[in-house]
Copies of this chain bind each other. A is one copy, B any other.
């Protein structure tokens, strides 16, 4: 029953590598089966070229390991909190992809500067506050998720399917693990364009609300017209 989930999660992890989003072992993707509440995630610190479906670690939503012999990704507690707090999502991907990480390190949200951005992210990709020393010293990985959820108050996670954790790196999500990985790739493309745009023209204001609406709803929602 978890076999299909584990295979999909493995594919999502390999997509991160194929899209050039992961160097060394900085990255992990997970997926959840909402019917059972079981989460499959990459094991910690295992080289990507050796991963098999059975290496994926399956836990419940509290982090109790249900299947698998390896330790789960050290970022598990962030994934779990996102699944508990964002009930509409089915997959999470975390990378240290270059340009998205640069925006996170700079502590700046990625503004919506063009239609490439608007096609996938309905507004800026936000950045969390820096974690306090107390949050870092406590349940750090869990608190990373807390900072994300706090930043998304009033936002729809599916309309803006990614976030930058200040001083750290991005998280992306989607309706399943594969879409989460795809959003991580789109985030990197958008972050790269935005970096080059702001460096050329620091005064750039970005697209109008009308253009944001037009592009986003061309690909999303009941009136979407894009594709076959």
Contact = CB atoms under 8 A, between A and B. Distances in A.
Interface of A: 23-24, 26, 43-46, 70-71, 74, 96, 98-99, 101-108, 113-116, 130-131, 133, 136-137, 140, 167-169, 185-186, 189, 192-201, 204, 206-208, 210-211, 214, 218, 225-228
Contacts of A201: 106-108
Given A114-B167, A115-B167, A204 B98 contact: no
Contact of A195 (B26, B130, B136, B200): B200
A44 B227 contact: yes
A137 B214 contact: yes
Number of chain copies forming the complex: 4
A41 to B, nearest CB: 14
Contact of A169 (B74, B116, B140, B199): B116
Given A24-B186, A196-B195, A210 B133 contact: yes
11 contacts: A24-B186, A45-B227, A71-B228, A74-B218, A74-B225, A101-B114, A105-B113, A106-B197, A115-B169, A136-B208, A136-B210
Contacts of A45: 226-228
Q: Which 9 A-B pairs have the closest CB atoms?
A: A45-B227, A106-B201, A133-B210, A105-B114, A102-B196, A136-B210, A105-B197, A105-B113, A115-B168
